[in-house]
Amino acid sequence: MQTRSGAEITFDGDVVVKLHRAGTDPRALRTRLRAAGAAPGILLAPLTTVPERAGPRWRSRWPRVETVAPQPDQLPWAEAGTLLARLHAQPVGMRLGHAWPARLRRAVDQLRTAGPQAQPVRRAAAALPPAVWRAGSADRPRTLVHGDFHLGQLGRRAGGPWVLIDVDDLGVGDPAWDLARPAGFWAAGHIPDQDWAAFLDAYRRAGGAALAASSADPWPVLEPFARAAVVAAAAHHPADELLAEACARMA
């Protein structure tokens, strides 16, 4: 069994059974499963769009896929950028907001019981701008948003094209949120310049909505969300020196 952000994953041959984290709203989960089934080639489609009760929790069933191997010279950053741009161009067929702000709040709540070593992260969290506490803003694009994008959220079947997996946080809001973690990790030193450039260039070439109206410099758009992603990651990984140093610079 594997665990992912409070969820539990087991394998039954070519079927992946996902037990969703405690407190999952079954109506929201059904909406997200249906949205995944309606975006073939972009989101991995579930085997059923109706979640099953498993005691006090809910589960879903998915086809088994290959995920990204940790090979630094073969990471599909360009493919990821193109996929996100395609996701952000999909029709918005739901009212459900994406869950990044809720995930950020859970991370910040975790800081309350952390030791003094977490003080730079707490200060960085306190300095986050208002935009990061909501799914979207009136002056920004409103699109479908994955809500928890990183390279571990790519999967493919038998060497086929990559698609996005894990729709637990899928919803509507500012598409800049899907660029938050790559942007923040690049700024913190976790992602090499060439990988960040490949990701960003592919996203922009595909007409990515988050940056469609921005100038050549994407940072004014991405910076608030990048900061939020670094704070959330640092809350979960207090021993990561690069993330801690990035939080200290923010504060």
CATH code at 90? 3.90.1200.10
Q: Per-residue pLDDT for 4 more than 60?
A: no
* Better-scored residue on pLDDT, 82 or 71: 82
Mutual angle of helices 193-205 and 180-188, in 10-degree steps:
150
Is 216 within a domain?
yes
Give the position of tokens 């005691």.
55
102 in a domain, yes or no? yes
Which tens digit of pLDDT belongs to each residue from 125-161?
A: 999 999 999 999 999 999 999 999 999 999 998 879 9
176 in a structural domain? yes
Report pLDDT digits (tens) over 104-114: 999 999 998 88
Domain that holds residue 184: 66-250
In a domain, 20, yes or no: no
List pLDDT tens digits, range 10-29: 999 999 999 999 999 999 99
Residue 9 within a domain: no
Query: How many domains is the chain built from?
Result: 1
Distances in Å between the Cα of 4 and the Cα atoms of 8, 54, 84, 162, 176 are: 6, 17, 21, 20, 23
Distance CA 115, CA 109 (A): 13
Would you state the pLDDT for residue 159?
77
Residue 28 resides in a domain: no
Distance CA 95, CA 153 (A): 23
Reference 169, options 84, 100, 82, 67; nearest CA is 100
User: For 152-171, how does the pLDDT look when each residue is reduced to its tens digit (9 = 90+)?
Assistant: 999 998 879 999 999 999 99
Which pTM value belongs to this model? 0.93
Number of other CB atoms surrounding residue 120 within 10 Å: 20
Distance between CA atoms of 171 and 147, rounded to whole angstroms? 7
Give mean pLDDT, residues 65-84: 92
Contacts of 215 (CB under 8 A, 6+ apart): none
Is 12 inside any structural domain? no
- What pLDDT shows up at residue 1? 44
Q: Has residue 42 been placed in a domain?
A: no
